Amino acid sequence: MLGSARKFLFVFAMLAIYGGALSACSNQPVVSNPSASIPLPDAGVVPVSAETSRDTDISISPQPERQAPANPEVVSSSVSDDPGQETIIDASAEEPDSTALQSFINKVTNGEAGVIRGIYAANIFALRVLQQPPDDPAFVSSIEGTVTQFSQAAQMNIIGLLAHNFASGRHFFNLNPADRIHVIYGDGSTKEYAVTAIFRYQALQPNNPSSNFVNLETGETLTATQVFIEMYSGEHHLTLQTCIEQDGIDSWGRLFIIAQPVTGTSMASVQ
């Protein structure tokens, strides 16, 4: 697995760091050409939420308060310190908002089995999933309401979904541990995941491709290689990634949401 991870480190460096050096971050992103290649996700102006599952010792601007889930009695789940360790969660603890979910499924399905078309979290987001062009693993859509599947992560059996935080990535900040995320495929089938870990990193040199990162909870300094391996290797899981704007620096940091598969859910359309 480590060999496979190293194979994709250059791509990760482009996605997580190098975009800032190319001035990809912008308060007014250009969306007139949505097919343009925009390296991830060093873009955005939405500050990280001050209400998080992990305390930090930095001053950050608060997000608008998130709307309470329709069913607040979600499954109890501890926050995992190892995103690569598979955590299976019992689905019986939550009743999904099936009406809204099914409505979204109907909108995004196109008959393509095995192709991810949408992600849904009750009262948080309903986002279409776009695929990266085969020859452009650094492409990330800047269109509001969409996220982009990281093709290199898929080759490692990880679902990686990327978004600029001036667009759909801003919704990632509203996720909390135990929140459910439904992954929707083109044939209408779904798979459910539960948030088990939230990681926030500061890039010590935001415009330097070789910058190290500081874990804002532990204070530990990691290389880009180490961050990539932690977020995009190990057992199958879902990783959401966007950037953190802070102190006027668009590429100041990175947010990663880790969600593990939930047992008791089938790859069948929700009725």
Could you tell me the CATH number of the domain that includes residue 193?
2.40.260.10
Using an 8 Å Cβ cutoff, are 51 and 71 in contact?
Answer: no
Least confident of 51-60, 63-72, 217-226: 51-60
* Containing structural domain, residue 206: 2-22+85-263
Q: Does a structural domain hold residue 36?
A: no
Check residue 92 and give its pLDDT.
41
Asked if residue 21 has pLDDT above 90, the reply is no
Q: Does a structural domain hold residue 118?
A: yes
Rg (CA), the chain: 17
Q: Does a structural domain hold residue 28?
A: no
Dist. CA 50–CA 242, nearest whole Å: 16
Q: Does a structural domain hold residue 170?
A: yes
| pLDDT tens, position by position, 212-245 | 999 999 999 999 999 999 999 999 999 999 999 9
235-261 b/e (C-beta count within 10 Å ≥ 16 → b): bebbbbbbbbbbeebbbbbbbbbbbbb
Residue type present at position 167 = A
| pLDDT tens, position by position, 160-202 | 999 998 999 999 999 999 999 999 999 999 999 999 999 999 9
Q: Does a structural domain hold residue 125?
A: yes
Q: Does a structural domain hold residue 58?
A: no
What is the number of structural domains in the chain?
A: 1
Using an 8 Å Cβ cutoff, are 260 and 91 in contact?
Answer: no
Nearest to 200 by CA among 212, 181, 217: 217
Q: Does a structural domain hold residue 39?
A: no
pTM listed for this prediction:
0.69
Using an 8 Å Cβ cutoff, are 233 and 4 in contact?
Answer: yes
pLDDT band at 128 (very low <50, low <70, confident <90, very high): very high
Q: Does a structural domain hold residue 40?
A: no
